[in-house]
Amino acid sequence: MIKFMMICFMLTSILLFGVLLGMQKANEGIKHLKGSTSEMDALTIEKKDGKMEAEVLGKNISSHELEEKQKKLEKLHSYNFFSSIGEKISNAVSALVKGVVSLIVTLFEFAFDSVL
């Protein structure tokens, strides 16, 4: 049994090492295809001249762009009549289902308590 466990542990270790080596080679291949040899951070935030500037995956984003996007989102979140009706209907159906399930559970508990 110990011999079997040792063999399994060794095979698992070798396979894990192979996976890690493959991931490293794939990363090097991707960097080679992109033509970049430097490490690129996913997100960098800098403060220049009193303004915050962010860089996401190499693309610059200024605070002005973020304010414009915020305004667009505020316009999109305006009142939607059908959405509010749908939300009320879903809340009513959820409450109804919870009530029915609670009633069924109570009846089963009552039935089993009277049997015992």
Number of H helices, E strands in the chain: 3, 3
What's the average model confidence in pLDDT over 94-103?
A: 96
- The residue among 97 and 34 whose pLDDT is bigger is 97
Name the nearest CA neighbour of 55 among 21, 79, 63, 12: 63
Q: What would the pLDDT profile of 37-90 be if each residue is shown by its tens digit? A: 556 556 666 777 767 667 766 667 666 666 777 788 777 766 678 888 999 999
Element (H, E) at 48: strand 43-48
Tell me the two tokens of residue 77. Answer: 């979140």
pLDDT band at 15 (very low <50, low <70, confident <90, very high): very high
